[in-house]
Each structure stands twice: as C-alpha cells, then as structure tokens.
Amino acid sequence: MKEVPSITFRFLQEGKKMNEDYAIKDTVKDSVKDSEKEDIIDALKNDGENPVNSKPFSFYFNLSIKYFILSAIAITLFFPFILAFFGTFKSNAEITLWPPKILPSKWLWENWLITWKTDLGRGGTFPRWLFNTAFLSIIIATLQVVFCSLAGYAFARLRFRGKEIIFTFMISSMMLPGVVTLVPKYVMMAKLKLINTYWSLILPGAVEAFGIFLLTQYFKSIPHELEEACMIDGASYFRIYRTVVLPLSRPALLTLYILKFQAMWNNFLDPLLYLNRVNMWTLTVALMTFQQQYKAQWNLTLVGAMFNAIPVLVIFFFFSRYYIEGVSYSGLKT
Amino acid sequence: MTEEDTGGHKAPPVSSMKMVSKTVSNEQMKQNNENKILTKNRSLSQMKKREELAAYLFLSPYLISALVFTIGLLAFAFYISLNRWNIFTLPKFAGFTNYIKTFKSPDFLRSLLNVFWYSLVVVSFQTAIAILLAVILNKPVPGSSLFRTLFYAPSVTSSVVISMIFWWLYLKTGFLNLAIGKLLGVLHVAWKNIDWLNDPRGLFQLIAGLFGKKIPYSKWYFTGPSITWMAIMFQAIYTTSPTFMIMFLAALQNIPPSLYESASIDGASPWKQFTRITLPLLRPIIMMVVVLGTIGTLQLFDYVKIMTSGGPLGTTLVPVYLIYRETLGTEGPIRAGYGAAMAFILAAIIFIFTYLQRRFIERGTEHYF
C-alpha cells in the first residue's frame, strides 16, 4: 500500500511548490506583457481603419455582466459593515426600532465622542484600551519578526546537528490544537503572578513556529551568491543575516509583521484570560464586556466595533498585497 | 497520548530522503566555498563549530520558547489532567477519573454534538463558497485585484466586531427579520419575527413540527442544531469563506491556461472544464482547507462566549467554552484537572477527524501526481 503523505510533508511540499510557482508566475507576467505589446502594435496598425470591430459588442456585454456579479458580491460582503456604520449615528431609541431604516433620521455625530470618553473608573478609559491594544500588537509583531527571522536564517542557511529533528518538531507543533495548552498556560501565568501584566501575552507570543516556517521558506528562495561573497570576506553570520538577508527579504518580514499585528489586534481569548483588570483590557475584551453590561446601548457598542475594525481595515487596504500573499502562501491565518 | 499525537505527523521516509538529497548538493557547494575560506588560516572543524554555535544562538529564542510553552506546557497539561486541583491548594492525584468523568458529563457530550454539527455545516459551506468565489474572481478583468481586496476585507476584522454587528442584525427588530419579511412578502407569506440569538428550537424539531410530531427538548440528541446555533454558523461561513477563497485563488492561478484552451477546443463545456480540470487540480488545496477548517471549527470559542454563553437551553455549548468555564471557575468551583482532561479528549478527536479526512480526500488522487 502506498503511504499517505502526512500533513507535515504536505506543508513542506506546498512551500517548495509555491517557490517554484512564483518563478512560473514571473515568466507568465512577462509573456502577458509581450502579448499586450502585440495588442498595442495591432491597434496602432488598425488605427483609423476599423477600430470598432476589433472589440465586438459581446465582449463589452460579458465584461459588464462580470462587473455586475463582482460588485454584487462585494456589496453583499460589505453590507453588514455599512449598516453598522450608519447605525453608529442613530439615537439609542432609533437603533432598535421596528422597522429598521438604513440611514439615521437624525445624524448624532456625538455618539463617537461619547464612546471615546467612556470611563469605567480605575483607569478603564477608552484611550487606555486603545493604547493597550496598539502597544501589545506592535511589541508582539516586532518581536515575532526579530526572533522568527533569526531562527529562520539558521534553518535556511546554517548546518548543525539536530536540524532535521528540530524542524520536524516545529512543523508538528503547528498542528497542535491550541486548546491543549489553555489550562496549563493559565495556571502558569497565575502562579508566576503575570496575570494583568503585558508579559502574559508577550512571553508566549514573542516567537512562533508559523513565523519561522514562513521566513525559512522565503530565505531559502533568496540566491546564495551575495552571502558567499561576504563569507569569503570573513563577515560573521550575524553580520550576513543583518546586512544581506534581512534587507533582501523585506516583503516576507512585512507580511509576517502585518499578520501578527492583526492577530494580536483581533485576539480575544488571551486578553480575556490574562488581562481582566479594567485598565489592562484590550479593545476586544472591552467591547464584549461593554456590550454585556450595557445591553441597551447599541449605538455606542457599534461605535466601539468601528474603532476596533477601522485600524485593521486601513492597514489591510494599504498592505493588502503582502497580506494576501502571506495567507495564500502559507495556508494559515493566525 | 501525546506521543501518539505527534507520531501521526512525522514526515514519511519518502520526504526525508528527498530533503537529504537536496541538502547534500547544498553541502557540496558550501564545501567548495569553505575551501576558499580555509585560506584565512582556519581549520575545517573550527569552522564547523563556529557555524553550529551560531546556529544554536540564532535558534535560542525559539528553543527556549518551545521548551517552556510547547513541551513544558504539554507535560504540565497532562499532569494537571491526572489531578483534582482548584489551582490554589495542593493538587490531589486522581488517576484517570477526570477522563472518565468527562465522558459521563451530559454537558460535554452535548457540546461535542453541537460542535460536530457546527464543524460539518461550516466546513462544507465555507469550502464550497470559497471555491465558487475564487472561480468567479479568477477570470481576469481590469480591476480584479481591487475586487479581491474588497472580498477579503471583512474577514480581517476581529471575531468580536463580527459578533457585535451580527448580534445587532439578529435582533428581533433587526435587519435580518426585515429582509426575510420583505422577501416572503413578495410571495405573500407572513413572517413572524424571530429572536435569532435566543431561540432553542432545533432543526429536526421544526421539521417534525411540519408533520405534526413533537420532539421534546429533553431528547437533545434528536433536536438537531437550534436556530441560534444556525445563526452563528451563518455568520461563521460569512466571515471565513473569503479567507479560504484567497488560498483557492492562489492555486487557481497556477493552473496552466493551456489546459482550458485545449479542453475548449475539444468542445468541453465550462461545467465539464470545472469538474474535470479545476476540481481535480484543486484537490490538495481542498484537503488543506478542509483540515484547517476542521481544526478551527472544532475549537470554536469566541462567538459562543461573546454572543450566547452556551444558551439558549445549552444548544450552543462547545467544548472550549466548557474548558474555559472549568479553568476560571466562572460557574462553580475551579476544576483545572477536569478542564485539562476535556482539552486532551478534544485534541484527540481533532487528530482523528483530520486524519480520516486526509485518508478520505487523498484516496484516489494518486494518479494526479
């Protein structure tokens, strides 16, 4: 019987394949450019003779149908957000009124200000929650990029005893369901008195198998020649890592940074477990508690949701290429 | 138990052989370079030691983290699961009683059934919709990358944001009831507004009701997923489909267009092209998406904690929520050992499921590779 390849193997294979695929894609891109050139040349030749016939009516018809379908899907996917955005300007009475209307009858801009000025006492203010969230996201994403790139460099370039074993262990640990470590991690944090400190999230989140795997695959795809030249000049490994490998892999580092920033920004379970003092909350925990305690205040809750969603959406729109590449490259979201 | 788990995922001999052959060629290249470097008056063994030392220094943050947060916590989890412990006093050794208790607990069994329903529905729908979206997006039109970004954007927001927005839409006076009412109004059917997040009626109960039969709530294993549970499934499918769409899109773009060209010359319809070319070539990615989806859905926590706390009538209880409840003692005393035992059982179930899925999906795909 043929042995079924394990997930581990599958991941390795995917990684290799993707690298090759990138190469294929590049050649395809080039060929597209060439065909475009031909089109342009054709168009120039045909200029003034019969430019209408070169693109038949059915072409434009099909194109408009395609745009219609694409826009319909995009609007459907965005619709809940649009409704919620308009909801933030409604009065508290209007927002749960039957039948619901899309636009508010009176635009209450002050809802956003009221939410911003939320104060639950003992340091539990909205700006503080925003700071906690941003601080943790930036610190964890930065540490991930530093530590994962160090380990990734070792896996991609250096030879050492136990490399295969450690790498296989790392890949297998990615398959471990996170729920298994939930209880002992909580007990450990409680015993070390790290509950309600930033450390409880930073220490376990500073380096992860996923990031190392992503960067290892990327480093392997970078050509060796430059590093070898540096080796001959007698540069240390750290120097090569810092001055050659890191600058060359900026896209991959950015991808990891954005993925980890977003993962921490959206993290709910860990802050819920470890940060339960009101001044240590992150936006996600604050939003949930706020909603469960003041069930009637739907307009303010939706403002809170917008504050939570807009930063990641803005980052996503600016860096969507890196983001999408990261997700499709690895096949893992968090 | 843990050994078994990791053992299932060791790379098979085939892959390690391939990897070895690749590293050998790399090593030969490095050897050649080292010969050049040797002119710098360093012996070969010194060089090797230096490289090894550097490697372990580079790896040290990960090694420490893995030792503490993976191996250490796994061992600790197993130790906890064998004890009765409220985490403040000394743990009391209890053997495997926590595991036995878990299987006798109606709450846990119920949560397993709930999460099975959830996983089955969400994984099948999100995979199908993701493929559909990817196929639609794959036809290159000017600006298709903008649409890709737009499709994907909702899924970068957090589960709390999604929960809040959908909670509001699911209200008895919310937009979902309005939309359904308007749609049915066209067909002249009256619609009674549903409180989506507080309706324990199960799917099979509703179907039986159509035939004039009744299934009591005490027979929870026959009621099927409740209306609330299905509402949460819908919101999960809504938000995760675009994520997996991205993976399918990447795979689709690697299918050579010449395959479709030759198929259409042979007169194959678009549907035939989809079932005979696209789907078979997507099979490895489908497997990955199904496995990842299963791992994710079986560990559902956020939506339940935020929106329902397991209610109404326990129809949205899930294992991770129970584990959270026992560990923090939010309802009753802290029972860390019990929670840890439940976590191990859930992990075992996840491994069995994903293993079976791999066997099932990969069967009959050999001839494509």
- Contact criterion met (CB below 8 Å) for A154 and B58: yes
- Contact criterion met (CB below 8 Å) for B357 and B275: no
Residues B55-76, mean pLDDT to the nearest whole number? 94
Classify the C-alpha dihedral A304-A309-A310-A311 as positive or negative.
positive
- CB B70 to CB A176 under 8 A? yes
Residues A146-167, mean pLDDT to the nearest whole number? 93
Q: What is the pLDDT of residue A8?
A: 38
CA distance A108 to A295: 20
- Contact criterion met (CB below 8 Å) for A206 and A145: no
Q: What is the pLDDT of residue A332?
A: 42
Q: List the beta strands (DSSP E) in B56-206.
A: 83-84, 92-93
CA distance B137 to B144: 7
Q: Tokens 């891109």, residue?
A: A29
- Contact criterion met (CB below 8 Å) for B158 and A268: yes
Minimum distance, in Å, between the CA of residue B163 and any CA atom of chain A:
9
Share of chain B above pLDDT 70, in %: 86
More confident residue, B259 or B74: B74
- CB A238 to CB B54 under 8 A? yes
Q: How far is CA B124 from the centre of its chain?
A: 12
* Contacts B344 to A, Cβ<8 Å: 180
Residue among B101, B41, B156 at smallest CA distance from B342:
B101
Q: What is the pLDDT of residue A317?
A: 86
CA distance A94 to B55: 63
pLDDT tens for each residue of B299-314: 999 999 999 988 788 8
* Contacts B157 to A, Cβ<8 Å: 81, 266, 308-309, 312-313
* Contacts A228 to B, Cβ<8 Å: 33
Give one word for A122, left, alpha or beta, with left for phi > 0 and alpha for psi -120 to 50. left
Kind and range of the H or E run holding B14: helix B13-37
pLDDT tens for each residue of B92-128: 898 899 999 998 999 999 999 999 999 999 999 999 9
Q: What is the pLDDT of residue B30?
A: 58
- Residue A267, C-beta contacts closer than 8 angstroms, at least 6 positions apart: A201, A282, A284, B158
B324 has a pLDDT exceeding 80 = yes
Q: What is the pLDDT of residue A140?
A: 97
B21 has a pLDDT exceeding 50 = no
- Residue B267, C-beta contacts closer than 8 angstroms, at least 6 positions apart: none
- Residue B51, C-beta contacts closer than 8 angstroms, at least 6 positions apart: A158, A159, A160, A237
- Residue B148, C-beta contacts closer than 8 angstroms, at least 6 positions apart: A320, A324, B137, B246, B249
B289 has a pLDDT exceeding 50 = yes
Greatest mean pLDDT range, A304-308, A328-332, B357-361: A304-308
Q: What is the pLDDT of residue B42?
A: 60
Give the 3-state secondary structure of residue B202: strand
Classify the C-alpha dihedral A190-A191-A194-A196 as positive or negative.
positive
pLDDT level of residue B11 (50, 70, 90 thresholds): very low
- Retrieve residue B51's tokens: 């490289």
CA distance B358 to B79: 31
Q: What is the pLDDT of residue A10?
A: 44
CATH number for B101-368: choose from 1.10.1240.10, 1.10.357.10, 3.40.50.10540, 1.10.3720.10.
Answer: 1.10.3720.10
CA distance A56 to A77: 33
Q: What is the pLDDT of residue B217?
A: 85
Nearest to B40 among A151, A184, A234 (CB): A234
Residues A245-260, mean pLDDT to the nearest whole number? 90
CA distance B148 to B151: 5
Q: What is the pLDDT of residue B169?
A: 93
Interchain CB contacts (distance < 8 Å): A and B? 326
Residues A69-85, mean pLDDT to the nearest whole number? 91
- CB A181 to CB B77 under 8 A? yes
**CA nearest to B363 within chain A:** A4
- Retrieve residue B166's tokens: 């959908």
CA distance B204 to B220: 10
Q: Tokens 């409740």, residue?
A: B226
Nearest to A179 among B37, B167, B323 (CB): B323
pLDDT tens for each residue of A83-102: 999 999 998 888 888 888 88
DSSP string covering B61-93, please?
A: HHHHHIIIIIIIHHHHHHHHHTEE--SSS--EE
- CB B320 to CB A153 under 8 A? no
Interface predicted TM-score (ipTM) of this complex, two decimals:
0.80
pLDDT level of residue A323 (50, 70, 90 thresholds): confident
* Contacts B350 to A, Cβ<8 Å: 177
- CB A190 to CB B299 under 8 A? no
Mean pLDDT of chain B: 84
The count of C-alpha atoms lying within 13 angstroms of the C-alpha of B96, restricted to the half-sphere facing its C-beta, is 7
CA distance B356 to A255: 33
* Contacts A67 to B, Cβ<8 Å: 141
Q: What CA–CA distances, in Å, run from A298 to A90, A302, B291, B325? A: 9, 6, 37, 27
One-letter amino acid at B337 equals: G
DSSP string covering B306-349, please?
A: IIITT-STTTT--HHHHHHHHHHTSSSS--HHHHHHHHHHHHHH
**CA nearest to A79 within chain B:** B154
- Retrieve residue B210's tokens: 């159509």
What is the CATH code for A119-330? 1.10.3720.10
